[in-house]
A and B are shown apart, each in its own frame.
Chain A
Amino acid sequence: MIRLQDLVKHYRTEEIETTALNHLSLEVREGEFLSIMGPSGCGKSTLLNIIGMIDTPSSGSYYFLSQEIAKASERVRAGLRKSTLGFIFQSFNLIDELTVYENVELPLIYTRMRAAERKQRVEAALEQMNMTHRRNHYPQQLSGGQQQRVAVARAVVHSPKLLLADEPTGNLDTANGDEVMRLLASLNEQGTTIIMVTHSLRCAEYGRRVIHLLDGKIISENHFSPNPA
């Protein structure tokens, strides 16, 4: 599904240049649950952003479903984002001015889906995340765990092929974190490919495959059997 070859990413400020990704190559197959671990500044978020097509590599190539993305236009990338990708962030990133329902509906709006179908999909996603009773609340009125469940609902409402999660449990306590992880695992079982960045080994172990990054390079790779929990 994803093939990264020789990916390099530099960040340039006025005086110094930092290398976030250093000739990194990686392949991810459909249906995988990949966790990316590593210390702060190792380049894991950069990698996730490039895979998520909201950042572009300095050099190297990126094939998504056999399509070259590294040099694709913003129009193409935005098109792919809204049709095939879903995002979950550490800080939830819900829009404060929109209700739970409207936040979840947002991706469907950009795909120009008809209202009736949108309603059905949003209801289903909320149902799945057990958030239907909060549909008319605003994000500030919810707990962190609830907010993240809304974010997950938003990420999956348009049935993306690939779900990208950046420290999804970073702002949550253990109980809420575990609940979110269980949701992700069940989504994966239903066929959604997931790539997740995390600090926590406990979370990483939900994935079948874990890679460790250091200074922009993959330094090790582990495979787990499916987590019984």
Chain B
Amino acid sequence: MLRNYFVTALRNLLKQRMYTLINIGGLAVGIACCLLIALFIADELSYDRYHERADRIYRVAASIKFGEMDGNLAVTPAPMGPAMLQDFPEVEASARFRTRGSHLIKAEGAEQNLKEEDVIFADQQIFEIFSFRFLEGDMGSALREPNTAVISRSAAERHFPGQSALGKVLILSNRYSYRVTGVFEDMPASSHIRMDFFLSMTSDEEALNPIWLSFNFYTYVLLKPGTDPRAVEAKFGQMIDTYAGPQLQQFMGVSMTDFLGSGNRLNLYLQPLTDIHLYSDLMAELAPNGSIQYVYIFSVVALFILLIACVNFMNLSTARSANRAKEVGVRKVLGAMRGQLIRQFLVETLLLTAAGFMVALALAELFLPVFNNLSGKSIRLPWHEPVFWASIGGGILLIGCLAGLYPAFFLSAFQPVQVLKGRLASGARSGRLRSALVVFQFSASIALIVCTLMVNRQLNFIRSKELGFNREQVLILQDTYLLRDRFEAFKEALAGLPQVSSVSGSSFIPVRGTNLEYESNNNAFWPEGQKVDKTVILNNWSVDHAYVRTLGMQIVLGRDFSLEFPTDSQGVILNQTAVESFGLGPDPLGKRINTFAFGADPSLPGPPPENSYTVIGVVKDFHYESMRERIAPLGLFLNRSTGCIMLRLQAQDLPGTIGEVEARWREFAAGVPFTYRFLDDEFDRMYQNEQRLGQIFLSFAVLAILVACLGLFALASFMAQQRTKEIGIRKVLGASVTDIIALLSRNFLGLVGIAMVLAFILSGVLMNRWLMEFMYRAPMGAGPFVLAGVLAVAIAMATVSFQAVRAATADPVQAIKEE
């Protein structure tokens, strides 16, 4: 019996080669997309699950509202972790991390420094919480002593190629030495903390600092088995009262009750480790995380494409029913039960689906590099996993049944008396369901096109928006702090180059670096005499005299820093938002803002000393965070800050200029790698996720349209075939070719029209939500909708009319003779 099914199926498929190809091709494209997206999602969901105790590990996060500052932080005060371990019996272990940006590192005795991005300071207890596989050294004693380091296998290979790293010494920033006490296997890519160097904090002053009002440490805790995290969270209030309360009183002169009473907030909460990658988007994250929203979006897209491919399948199979009707009739007359016929057609579908999957696997493997590039991942097809093959098998069954059940029921329902007389069941001809399926396909495709266009529109909006500074032609040299006392001399040497129009040194750059390369710093400031009610958390940036000029910012009131005014070191340039937040009124110049003096010691009695700054100018608001964020209050202060040097260049001969700059660098900073970026590239990198989203939408929209068109093409050819006689008669009666084309196209255009309406509603709602995430966004506008609509109609027309023209120009005599 089964053999008979196979034979019939195979011969049928071979006979109808074009439709078989369209069927398998469409299905394979759909499945390949689905497969890639499924791997992407599986990867996203697997983050941090490799830690043995992952279910008991939590990160402590802070939720703070203090004046203008309002948000959630991934960082917490230094003394909090030790306090939790001491006070909370539920806590089994706690450990802290502290990032200090990238570092230049070399092995002791080596000439050349390497720039290392993945460096972090850590408590020894991280080994009690997280799972590491040590290749060398002892986990129990690693990081216990001051100036020791634990490094990854690849870091060890970089710095100590071909030798054991254990016991060797690394030099940081040409100054500090760290002895390697352990080498661990590289952390998996699916880890939100992925570091090459863990450096001991045992003797770090900041780590021992008892201040509860500064937030710089990432704190992770391991709870005892069976602990309810909410029970721990319930105790945070008491802990803050006990430790932070007295310091608040001392520094700010307010009690915790008054502080909270005036609308401020200082809460702590726990984030499960495995939720951090997908659900956490706090300030000061270790690295940009993924987003559960993208996981959802991609899941929906994958489902759409798969459904489109399945729908193709159903459409083609039912449309082809005319060819199978006689067979169904004969088999029924010979005593076949309906169940047997359903089984027969399911076998056929499963064969096709299996073929589709094989092609899909090949396609997925082929396009994996492209997809990895698109998604920024390094996914591989897990050929060796039994689970993978099991899901492939399950997928064949599921999709085979999903796509095959309807045609099977449809075909097996033919009445033998009818079909053997050559009369077709009416369903084979029109088919409301088939139309609904075409509408669905086109809705999904059009919706994807609209989304693509909208994402691109927002990206263009971001690129063309007035930023408040000029991001073109600015070169950023990194790690210039290593120049130390030669910093100023180097700046002057650069200023002497003819292609350089201005030079500025500062660690503060108006883009958010992807790896925390650029500094950000904020402190509480208040207009003189209004400490409690007008306190503003102000981003305070240390800059030099040439900063505003080099970046092309605009002074709208007052003046820029100037060498002619030595008192400018006590001056500040505020942005417009800051002027408003402080309530300085229309004439802020000459007014003063105060802050605590740096390095105040909380153990001294009495209110700490304050510093005071005079407003000398107002700079036009400029974007220094992603456009998702509102521009926050910011002040520029004249201070030495040597992290980077920015050069404004003249347009001509960039490579030559960079060569010259590098030559100067070699003179001034021998042995330090020359690292530079362009400001506009750094700006674009802030929107990498959005660009990725746009590209992924684009790729999938193209694929969806392609698959949908394959289906439409085949469907149109069947329609034309079935109406051959009608077309013949019409032509004999005098219909022109155009009349016939119009006749055949009208139906489809109607369907595409309905699809458009549905797609517009769907994509409109979806994109509106996405755009809401941006503080600054392009207006919605009709453009993308109109364009997507025109595109869809054009593509549908092109597809259908090819068949229509063929049918319309065929010889009518032939057509009428048939039957």
Q: Does B362 contact A (CB under 8 A)?
A: no
Contact A54 B416 (CB under 8 A): yes
Contact A110 B326 (CB under 8 A): no
CB proximity to B under 8 Å, residues A98-154: 98, 102, 105-107, 109-112, 154
Contact string, A168-189, partner B, CB cutoff 8 A, digits 1/0? 0000000000000000000000
Q: Does B330 contact A (CB under 8 A)?
A: yes
* Chain B minimum-CB-distance residue to A111: B335
Q: What's the Cα separation between A109 and B327 when bound, in Å?
A: 15
Contact A54 B417 (CB under 8 A): yes
List residues of chain B with CB within 8 A of the CB of A111.
Answer: 335
List residues of chain B with CB within 8 A of the CB of A109.
Answer: 1, 4
Q: What's the Cα separation between A111 and B334 when bound, in Å?
A: 10
Contact A79 B335 (CB under 8 A): yes
Contact string, B411-445, partner A, CB cutoff 8 A, digits 1/0? 00001110010000000000000000000000000
Stretch at the interface among B7-15, B91-99, B147-155: B7-15
Q: Does A68 contact B (CB under 8 A)?
A: no
Q: What's the Cα separation between A154 and B331 when bound, in Å?
A: 12
* Chain B minimum-CB-distance residue to A108: B334
**Which listed residue (B15, B327, B335, B415) contacts A83, Cβ 8 A?**
B335
- Given A54-B417, A112-B1, A82 contacting B335 (CB threshold 8 A): yes
Q: Does A97 contact B (CB under 8 A)?
A: yes
Contact A74 B338 (CB under 8 A): yes
Contact B330 A97 (CB under 8 A): no
Q: Does B337 contact A (CB under 8 A)?
A: yes
- Given A97-B327, A102-B7, A110 contacting B336 (CB threshold 8 A): yes
**Which listed residue (B1, B8, B334, B335) contacts A97, Cβ 8 A?**
B8
Contact string, A72-91, partner B, CB cutoff 8 A, digits 1/0? 00110011011101010101
Q: What's the Cα separation between A112 and B1 when bound, in Å?
A: 8
- Given A74-B338, A97-B8, A87 contacting B327 (CB threshold 8 A): no
Contact B12 A97 (CB under 8 A): yes
Residue from B1, B327, B330 whose CB has the most chain A CB atoms within 10 Å: B330
Q: Does A30 contact B (CB under 8 A)?
A: no
Q: What's the Cα separation between A110 and B335 when bound, in Å?
A: 7
List residues of chain A with CB within 8 A of the CB of B620.
Answer: none
Which size bracket describes the interface of A in this complex? 20 to 34
**Which listed residue (A55, A94, A106) contacts B4, Cβ 8 A?**
A106
- Given A89-B420, A97-B327, A75 contacting B337 (CB threshold 8 A): yes
Contact A78 B15 (CB under 8 A): no
Which size bracket describes the interface of B in this complex? 20 to 34
Q: What's the Cα separation between A70 and B15 when bound, in Å?
A: 40
List residues of chain A with CB within 8 A of the CB of B417.
Answer: 49, 54-55
Contact string, B522-565, partner A, CB cutoff 8 A, digits 1/0? 00000000000000000000000000000000000000000000
List residues of chain A with CB within 8 A of the CB of B711.
Answer: none
Q: Does A57 contact B (CB under 8 A)?
A: no
Contact A81 B334 (CB under 8 A): yes
Q: What's the Cα separation between A112 and B416 when bound, in Å?
A: 22
A167, chain B: closest CB distance, angstroms? 12
Q: What's the Cα separation between A89 and B332 when bound, in Å?
A: 14
Q: Does A93 contact B (CB under 8 A)?
A: yes
Q: What's the Cα separation between A199 and B416 when bound, in Å?
A: 22
B320, chain A: closest CB distance, angstroms? 13
List residues of chain B with CB within 8 A of the CB of A54.
Answer: 332-333, 415-417
Q: Does A43 contact B (CB under 8 A)?
A: no
Q: Does B569 contact A (CB under 8 A)?
A: no
Residue from A89, A109, A112 whose CB has the most chain B CB atoms within 10 Å: A109
Q: Does B26 contact A (CB under 8 A)?
A: no
Contact string, A35-65, partner B, CB cutoff 8 A, digits 1/0? 0000000000000010010110000000000
Q: Does A26 contact B (CB under 8 A)?
A: no
Q: What's the Cα separation between A111 and B12 when bound, in Å?
A: 24
CB proximity to A under 8 Å, residues B307-362: 326-327, 329-338, 340
* Chain A minimum-CB-distance residue to B11: A97
Residue from B1, B7, B420 whose CB has the most chain A CB atoms within 10 Å: B420
Contact B336 A95 (CB under 8 A): no
B257, chain A: closest CB distance, angstroms? 82
List residues of chain A with CB within 8 A of the CB of B7.
Answer: 97-98, 102
Contact B15 A97 (CB under 8 A): yes
Contact B331 A106 (CB under 8 A): yes
List residues of chain A with CB within 8 A of the CB of B340.
Answer: 110
B345, chain A: closest CB distance, angstroms? 14
Contact string, B435-478, partner A, CB cutoff 8 A, digits 1/0? 00000000000000000000000000000000000000000000
B335, chain A: closest CB distance, angstroms? 2
6 new A-B contacts, CB < 8 A, other than A54-B416, A78-B336, A97-B7, are: A82-B334, A85-B335, A95-B8, A95-B326, A106-B334, A107-B335
11 contacts between A and B (CB under 8 A): A55-B417, A78-B337, A83-B335, A93-B329, A93-B333, A94-B330, A95-B8, A95-B327, A98-B11, A105-B4, A106-B4
**Which residues of A are in contact with B by a Cβ distance under 8 Å?**
49, 52, 54-55, 74-75, 78-79, 81-83, 85, 87, 89, 91, 93-98, 102, 105-107, 109-112, 154
